[in-house]
Amino acid sequence: MWQKIVISMALIAIVLSTENRTEAQQIQACDAICSKQQQVDKFKSNDQKPFLDADLKRINSQRLHDALVELHLLIEQNLSVAEDLLSDAPEADKKELGDKINALQQKLQAVEHDLSLPGRSSQASSPAATVITPSATVPNTAGTNNDPIPASSAAGPLIGATRFASCSDGSSPANTYLSMLARGAAELIVSRQDPSAANDQIDRILFAGFSDVAVPQQFRGNFTEVMQKLYVKSETRKATDKQIGASPQAEGSTSAIEKPDFTKLLGFAVEHGAVEQVVNGTTLTLSSSPYALMTAGKGGDTAENYSHYNAFTRLGASATFNIQDQNNVLASATRKQLSEWSVRYRFNPDRSTRSKDFLDYWNSNVLPELNNSGVALGNALLHLQDENSTVINAIDQKLTAPDGFIAQYYSQHKDEPQDTLIDGLEKEISCRVEQQFTENMNSLQITDATRVVLQQDLDAYAKAQEGLQTAITRAENFSKELEKRWQGTFAYTQKQQQITSNYSILKFIFEKSAPAPLKLTANIEGSLYHRPDPLKNQETLRDFSAALSFEYLAGRSPFVTNPLDQSQVSLSFTGSYERMPENRGVLNKKADIGNAQFKFQLPVASGIVFPISFTFANSSELVKKNHWRVNFGLTFDLDKLSQLMSVSSQP
């Protein structure tokens, strides 16, 4: 009895283990071709579902196409190994190998049919056998139907210009490297109003188009993502460290403290109020730098001039005038109306991206990455030329010739609204590139070796671009670090007084970034009478004072419409103390004067800022009386304004 039970269990175990082994073998056999075939079958099944919406159908078609490409590759690789083994196989294996080869050839034919390719056997005389259709999302006939044609249902090879009669009316896959480049080219053409403006982009566009044809999408995914991250638009300077308005001693000043930097070209401020004066006034302040004069007739503010005349950027000058005629403020810029003039010397080194520190950093860290990117692209383009120059150059010509696709499209649609024209051009370029590669499929050399090289080129280019992105990000951070370093300026100001004696102010101005987004500014000054009047209790030393300010950057101004202008709204709190010895013991005057100011600066357009401040003082210089003041104005920074004008004057 026990013997029977043991034998039965052993038999069951043998049967089970045999079944398991068979299943394991099947799974192993299904690892590559079989599982890919199952994937293809699943996508084909989805493709037949009538309820599928257009977007899902398009995505499914793309996946189906890619799966078919990969299946094709797998079968070819297996077939190649099987044929190789057959030549010197022992008799016992020959039949099995022969059956395997037949089965693989049948599968290959089926896949080639699905991909609408000329059969492998028909290309026996051509070594460039493996050609693949670019995408399942090819526009339909004459643009009357924009639905994509699923690869599996395409009736024959996608060849023939008539299928693309209205190329740009069709849909092109979005967010591919090709579409990104086509978009950039379209924007360039429209901004320059010149259909040949993007001719220098066409080789990269053809590289992208050829990659789309020859490399399955899943291998291009990372590449496209890298490229998308790289080309995020840059932003402009955020700094708020320029003194454009009058000094605190001027009648119309809105500032209780001065900033260390100054305009290099021209600054212009109209302010109303008073901080340290007893009488409200309205002033006009003009400021500039000798650098603007030195470079005026020599090409202006070029990099070469900046490097050559860099020393002059350390010097600044300004003049403040009391405004009589508020309808014509510039008419007040006369010597008679001069309220104060000032010269400044910045004693910290240049902190901008034009500085030697930054250029050294750039040349050591960023330039090598830029070079890597150029070399990677150069290699890719040379490989394309080595293998497929005839087709590539013919397509280039068709796109860029004076009567080529781009010029024709531009000529026919140039009167359309700009956005419509850019969209249309982008689609036209993408579509024509796909169309041209498809039409010339049989002339292209896309061997396995070509594909491998192209894959390597794409990887190398993506890595180079990624390295470049990292280097640029680090350079931006280094630039921010430079801006955070201390700034120091010495200012000499001469006050022209109508009632009291003229005097000079010697001032040291420091600024240092506190933990972001705070900034700390300090002023220390002393002023001297030119001709002290003993009858007015005056000595040579008129006063000394100190001021400290915390500034908070609240973010980009909502009123600045230029998306590239990052001008910041700022809030600042300033406290200052002034000691005036001449007021000691004088009736109705106070020797120790304190101010507390809250200031709000709102950029209302590029280069134009509306400052408003609220100041409490325990006394003015002339009258002992607590008071509140509200000061406001408008400042114009021509450094920024000239940039804006230059951009808007571009064709």
Partner 1 sequence: MKKISESQYQMANGETGKLNITLLHTSHLASVVHNNLVLQPDPTGAYVFTITRSSGKIEFLIVTATFLSNDPQTAEYQLFLQDQSGTSFPDRVIKHTDPPITWQSTIRLVVV
Q: Which of residues 304-323 bind partner 1 (CB under 8 A)?
A: 304, 306-307
Closest CB 447 distance from partner 1, rounded Å:
20
Query: What backbone phi and psi angles, to 5 degrees, belong to 252?
Result: -100, 5
Q: Which of residues 123-182 bind partner 1 (CB under 8 A)?
A: 180-181
**Between 83 and 187, whose beta carbon lies closer to partner 1?**
187
Q: Which of residues 339-368 bind partner 1 (CB under 8 A)?
A: 352-354, 358-359, 362-363, 366-367
Cα–Cα distance for residue pair 473/470, rounded to 1 Å: 5
**Between 80 and 191, whose beta carbon lies closer to partner 1?**
191
Give kind and range of the element (H or E) at residue 511: strand 503-513
> Residue 39 is which amino acid?
Q
The piece of 127-135, 303-311, 543-551, 615-623 that touches partner 1 (CB under 8 A) is 303-311
If one asks whether residue 183 binds partner 1 (CB under 8 A), the answer comes out as yes
The piece of 79-87, 375-383, 438-446, 485-493 that touches partner 1 (CB under 8 A) is 375-383
Residues forming a β-bridge with 553: 570
**Between 85 and 394, whose beta carbon lies closer to partner 1?**
394
Closest CA to 508 of 259, 341, 241, 310: 259
The piece of 3-11, 33-41, 217-225, 231-239 that touches partner 1 (CB under 8 A) is 231-239
Number of residues lying near partner 1 (CB under 8 A):
73
Q: Which of residues 505-544 bind partner 1 (CB under 8 A)?
A: none
Cα–Cα distance for residue pair 214/208, rounded to 1 Å: 10
Q: Which of 132, 185, 444, 454 binds partner 1 (CB under 8 A)?
A: 185
The piece of 141-149, 373-381, 409-417, 433-441 that touches partner 1 (CB under 8 A) is 373-381
The piece of 79-87, 198-206, 520-528, 532-540 that touches partner 1 (CB under 8 A) is 198-206
Closest CB 443 distance from partner 1, rounded Å:
17
User: Tokens standing for 197?
Assistant: 């403006």
Determine what percent of the chain falls in helix, strand and coil, rounding each to the nearest 5.
Answer: 50, 20, 30
Q: Which of 79, 117, 158, 198 binds partner 1 (CB under 8 A)?
A: 198
Under 8 Å between Cβ of 521 and 549: yes
If one asks whether residue 302 binds partner 1 (CB under 8 A), the answer comes out as yes
Closest CB 237 distance from partner 1, rounded Å:
5
If one asks whether residue 444 binds partner 1 (CB under 8 A), the answer comes out as no
Provide the 8-state DSSP code for 173. Answer: -
**Between 253 and 469, whose beta carbon lies closer to partner 1?**
469
**Helix axes of 91-114 and 54-87: crossing angle, nearest 10 degrees:** 160
If one asks whether residue 13 binds partner 1 (CB under 8 A), the answer comes out as no
Under 8 Å between Cβ of 636 and 604: no
Closest CB 405 distance from partner 1, rounded Å:
15
Q: Which of 2, 297, 646, 651 binds partner 1 (CB under 8 A)?
A: 646
Q: Which of 174, 382, 449, 571 binds partner 1 (CB under 8 A)?
A: 382
Query: What backbone phi and psi angles, to 5 degrees, belong to 218?
Result: -65, -25
User: Tokens standing for 172?
Assistant: 């092109």
Q: Which of 184, 467, 488, 517 binds partner 1 (CB under 8 A)?
A: 184
Burial 376-391 (b: 16+ CB within 10 A, else e): bbebbbebbeebbeeb
User: Tokens standing for 366?
Assistant: 């960023």
Query: What backbone phi and psi angles, to 5 degrees, belong to 132?
Result: -130, 140
**Between 281 and 607, whose beta carbon lies closer to partner 1?**
607
If you count them, how many residues does the chain have?
651
Q: Which residue has the tokens 């300077």?
A: 237
Under 8 Å between Cβ of 533 and 560: no
Closest CB 61 distance from partner 1, rounded Å:
27
Please tell me whether residue 531 adopts helix, strand or coil conformation.
coil
If one asks whether residue 232 binds partner 1 (CB under 8 A), the answer comes out as yes
Closest CA to 258 of 512, 567, 640, 547: 547
Q: Which of 36, 63, 204, 346 binds partner 1 (CB under 8 A)?
A: 204
Sign of CA dihedral 160, 165, 168, 169: negative
If one asks whether residue 504 binds partner 1 (CB under 8 A), the answer comes out as no
If one asks whether residue 410 binds partner 1 (CB under 8 A), the answer comes out as no
If one asks whether residue 303 binds partner 1 (CB under 8 A), the answer comes out as yes
Cα–Cα distance for residue pair 266/251, rounded to 1 Å: 21
Under 8 Å between Cβ of 146 and 54: no
Q: Which of residues 64-83 bind partner 1 (CB under 8 A)?
A: none
31 alpha carbon, distance to own chain's centre? 43
Under 8 Å between Cβ of 322 and 339: yes
**Between 142 and 564, whose beta carbon lies closer to partner 1?**
564
Closest CB 39 distance from partner 1, rounded Å:
33
**Between 76 and 459, whose beta carbon lies closer to partner 1?**
459
User: Tokens standing for 343?
Assistant: 């010269």
Q: Which of residues 449-488 bind partner 1 (CB under 8 A)?
A: 468, 472, 475-476, 479
Residues 6+ apart with CB under 8 A from 471: 365, 366, 368, 369
Q: Which of residues 600-639 bind partner 1 (CB under 8 A)?
A: 639
Q: Which of 35, 171, 236, 442 binds partner 1 (CB under 8 A)?
A: 236
Q: Which of 332, 400, 438, 523 binds partner 1 (CB under 8 A)?
A: 400
**Between 324 and 473, whose beta carbon lies closer to partner 1?**
473
Give kind and range of the element (H or E) at residue 523: strand 518-529
| Cβ atoms within 10 Å of 471's Cβ, excluding its own | 19
If one asks whether residue 266 binds partner 1 (CB under 8 A), the answer comes out as no
The piece of 41-49, 298-306, 329-337, 427-435 that touches partner 1 (CB under 8 A) is 298-306
Closest CB 193 distance from partner 1, rounded Å:
14
**Between 70 and 203, whose beta carbon lies closer to partner 1?**
203
> Residue 303 is which amino acid?
A
Under 8 Å between Cβ of 295 and 311: no
If one asks whether residue 561 binds partner 1 (CB under 8 A), the answer comes out as no
Cα–Cα distance for residue pair 364/349, rounded to 1 Å: 20
